[in-house]
């Protein structure tokens, strides 16, 4: 009896040691044990999927400014009335389909860039997946069946090509609030078929309500937080405006013991560009390159010192040429704009 108690005691001790080791290892992927006070930054861009194959010098330009990660975004199209989802069809752009995704990954990998694969829904008639909702369970079930097939197709690619991060969804906020069981099941399927890290790209007004962060490796936020109603806010005003949202983000990081990444962040080159893009009539606003530059610098100065912030992916970078027009000058991309130099300086400080 005494010998059995001693054996059980040692089994219990070894179990505790094993669990502690697992916990330490799981956090060391992004927070290495030898440098727990220094986070390995993601200096990334979301790539615009091109309509056809592109020359590798398009990626060389992004690498030259200190970028070390890219997010590749294969779109699918959802019917808001029926829940049906279509992807990999003949009318899609080359870069949105598996063949283009695979070749883009190969090209990026050849240059030493790390990859996040980030499937993204476009909803017919409304565009944004954040407002997607169905009136019946039967429609939700059809949507979930087809969405699972979409994710399974790309997670197979991600696993076969050793993609570092896979994003299981982007801003599908009605679903994440009311259909939590579906997301838990989807995460389990992903874990069975993929060895890399998992995240979800939550809209800025969604991330605090996500119930499944504990099942993922990183908390992903599309960080379009409204900061100022000023036409031309100063950097100091924006840094002050970041204090409250930054505090709330940190609470989520601590609650789930997960690092934060901004799966999307960025600013248009217009007046009022930190008010909230959904509230603006862009065609009536002036081009303002300085607003874009200041907004990026304020974000970096606000988050650089936070160990729980992993960096993120700027929205966005075009791999093919785009027309020089008022619309492109106002758009999110910092290409050929003053903000790009500030981003380059930042990336090279944290490479």
How would residue 125 be classed by pLDDT, with cut points 50, 70 and 90?
confident
Lowest mean pLDDT among 7-11, 286-290, 328-332, 338-342: 7-11
Is position 196 within any domain?
Answer: yes
Q: Specify the number of domains making up the chain.
A: 1
- Give the span between the Cα atoms of 181 and 208, in whole angstroms: 18
Is position 12 within any domain?
Answer: no
Domain that holds residue 63: 43-349
How many CB atoms neighbour CB 120 within 10 A?
20
Question: What is the H or E stretch that residue 198 is in?
Answer: strand 197-203
* Whether the Cβ atoms of residue 166 and residue 196 lie closer than 8 Å to each other: yes
Is position 24 within any domain?
Answer: no
CA-to-CA dists, residue 279 to 47, 104, 173, 275, angstroms? 25, 34, 19, 7
pLDDT tens figures, 194-237: 999 999 999 999 999 999 999 999 999 999 999 999 999 999 99
Mode of pairing for the β-strands spanning 75-78 and 85-86: antiparallel
The answer to whether residue 31 scores a pLDDT higher than 70 is no
Torsion angle of C-alpha atoms 87, 90, 92, 95, degrees rounded to 10: 90
Output DSSP code: residue 135.
Answer: S
pLDDT given for residue 283 in this prediction: 87
Is position 125 within any domain?
Answer: yes
Measured at the CA of 197, the angle between CA 193 and CA 201, to 5 degrees, comes to 105
pLDDT tens figures, 181-196: 999 999 999 999 999 9
Is position 37 within any domain?
Answer: no
- Report percent pLDDT > 70 for the chain: 87
Residue 9: how many CA atoms within 13 Å on its side-chain side? 6
Of 151, 155, 46, 51, nearest to 96 by C-alpha is 51
Q: Which residues of 231-263 are buried (b: 16+ CB within 10 A; e: fewer)?
A: eebeeebbbebbeebbeebeebbeebebbbbbb
Lowest mean pLDDT among 32-41, 53-62, 113-122: 32-41
**Dihedral sign, CA of 322, 328, 333, 339?**
positive
CA-to-CA dists, residue 114 to 32, 42, 67, 154, angstroms? 17, 9, 9, 17
How many CB atoms neighbour CB 166 within 10 A?
26
Of 241, 203, 242, nearest to 220 by C-alpha is 203
How would residue 325 be classed by pLDDT, with cut points 50, 70 and 90?
low
Is position 33 within any domain?
Answer: no
Give the residue, 14 or 128, on which the prediction is more confident. 128
pLDDT tens figures, 271-289: 999 999 999 988 899 999 9
pTM for this prediction: 0.89
The answer to whether residue 96 scores a pLDDT higher than 60 is yes
Backbone angles phi, psi at 123, to 5 degrees: -100, 125
Is position 92 within any domain?
Answer: yes
The CATH number covering residue 93 comes to 3.20.20.80
How many CB atoms neighbour CB 199 within 10 A?
25
Is position 304 within any domain?
Answer: yes
């Amino acid at each position: 009896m005494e010998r059995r108690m001693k054996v059980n005691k040692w089994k219990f001790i070894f179990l505790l040691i094993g669990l502690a080791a697992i916990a330490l290892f799981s956090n060391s992927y992004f927070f290495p044990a030898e440098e727990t006070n220094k986070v390995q930054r993601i200096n990334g861009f979301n790539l615009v999927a091109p309509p056809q194959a592109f020359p590798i010098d398009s990626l060389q330009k992004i690498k030259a400014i200190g970028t070390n990660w890219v997010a590749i975004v294969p779109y699918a199209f959802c019917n808001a009335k029926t829940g049906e989802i279509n992807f990999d069809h003949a009318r899609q752009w080359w870069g949105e389909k598996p063949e283009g995704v695979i070749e883009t990954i190969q090209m990026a990998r050849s240059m030493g860039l790390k990859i996040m694969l980030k499937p993204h829904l476009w909803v017919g008639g409304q565009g944004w997946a954040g407002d997607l909702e169905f009136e019946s369970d039967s429609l939700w079930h059809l949507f979930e069946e087809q969405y699972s097939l979409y994710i399974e197709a790309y997670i197979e690619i991600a696993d076969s090509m050793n993609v570092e991060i896979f994003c299981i969804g982007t801003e599908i906020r009605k679903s994440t609030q009311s259909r939590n069981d579906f997301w838990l099941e989807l995460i389990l399927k992903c874990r069975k078929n993929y060895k890399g890290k998992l995240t979800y790209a939550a809209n800025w007004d969604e991330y605090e309500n996500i119930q499944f962060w504990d099942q993922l490796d990183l908390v992903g936020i599309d960080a379009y937080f409204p900061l100022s109603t000023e036409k031309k806010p100063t950097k100091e005003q924006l840094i002050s405006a970041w204090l409250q949202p930054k505090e709330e983000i940190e609470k989520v990081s601590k609650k789930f013991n997960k690092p934060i990444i901004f799966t999307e962040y960025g600013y248009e080159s217009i007046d009022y560009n930190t008010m909230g893009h959904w509230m603006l009539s862009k065609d009536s606003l002036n081009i303002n390159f300085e607003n874009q530059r200041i907004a990026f610098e304020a974000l970096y100065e606000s988050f650089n010192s936070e160990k729980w912030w992993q960096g993120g992916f700027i929205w966005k970078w075009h791999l093919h040429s785009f027309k020089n027009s008022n619309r492109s000058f106002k758009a999110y991309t910092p290409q050929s704009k003053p903000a790009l130099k500030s981003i380059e300086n930042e990336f090279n400080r944290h490479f």
